[in-house]
Amino acid sequence: MTDAPVRLLLADDHPVVRAGLRAVLETEPGLTVVAEAATAEEAVARAARGGVDVVLMDLRFGKGMGGAEATARITARPDAPRVLIVTTYDSDADTLPAIEAGATGYLLKDAPPEDLAAAVRGAAAGRTTLAPAVADRLMERLRTPHATLTRRETEVLSLVAEGLSNQAIGRRLHLTEGTVKSHLARVYAKLGTGSRTAAVATASDLGLIRR
C-alpha cells in the first residue's frame, strides 16, 4: 500500500473555473493538482504523458475537440487515468456521449466541495459517481427504452436540427442517403413523430439533442 497523493489534471477552457477547482481540491488531503489544460487537445496530450490519476474534464471547449471525444481518446490508452466529467450540462445529449466514451463519473459544477472531493477519490478508486440529475435521467431512459436514441440516431437528428439535408448528412457521417432515411424512420417511430421538424422539437424538449 502507498499513501501517494491522487494526481489530478484539470481540463477546462475557463481559467477562473480551473483556479476554483484547484483551490477546492488542493485543500483536501491526499489530492494534488499536477497539471492544467485549457483545451481538450491539451488534456489528451498531457494525460498521454503519464503521471495523472484522474482527469477532471469539462464537456465544451469552444472550438476544437469536445470533452466526450477527449475522454474517449484518454480512456482508450493502456493504463489510462480515470476521467471525471465536471460540467454545467446535464442533458442526455451531453451525458450519454461522455459516459459511452468511458467517463468514470459525471458531476455538475454546482456540486458542494465535499461532493467534488468524494467524487475525485471515488474515480481514483474506479468507482462511479453521478450527479443526482444525471442518475435520474439515466434511470428514466432505462424505464422508457422506446424513447432512447442510439448515438448514431442522435448524430443524424442533430444534423437535421442544423438544417442539413439527408444527402448532406450522409456525406458528413459517411453514410448512404438510404441509411440516413432508415435512421430517421427509427427516430420518428421512437419519438412518435412524423416529420423532421416534429422530431427535432420533441427531441429538444426531451433533452436528447441540443438546438
Return the pLDDT at 147.
Answer: 61
Return the pLDDT at 89.
Answer: 80
Query: Rounded mean pLDDT of 20-45?
Result: 95
pLDDT at 1 over 50: no
Q: What is the DSSP string of 68-117?
A: HHHHHHHHTSTTPPEEEEEES--SHHHHHHHHHTT-SEEEETTS-HHHHH
Return the pLDDT at 141.
Answer: 65
pLDDT at 196 over 80: yes
CA dihedral 118, 140, 101, 13 (to 10 degrees): -60
CA dihedral 34, 53, 68, 209 (to 10 degrees): -100
pTM above 0.75, yes or no: no
Rounded-to-integer distance, Cα 54 and Cα 84, Å: 7
**Domains of the chain with CATH codes:** 6-141 (3.40.50.2300), 145-205 (1.10.10.10)
Residue-wise pLDDT for 91-120, tens only, equals: 767 787 888 889 999 999 889 999 999 999
Residue-wise pLDDT for 134-183, tens only, equals: 877 677 666 665 567 888 888 899 999 999 999 999 999 999 999 999 99
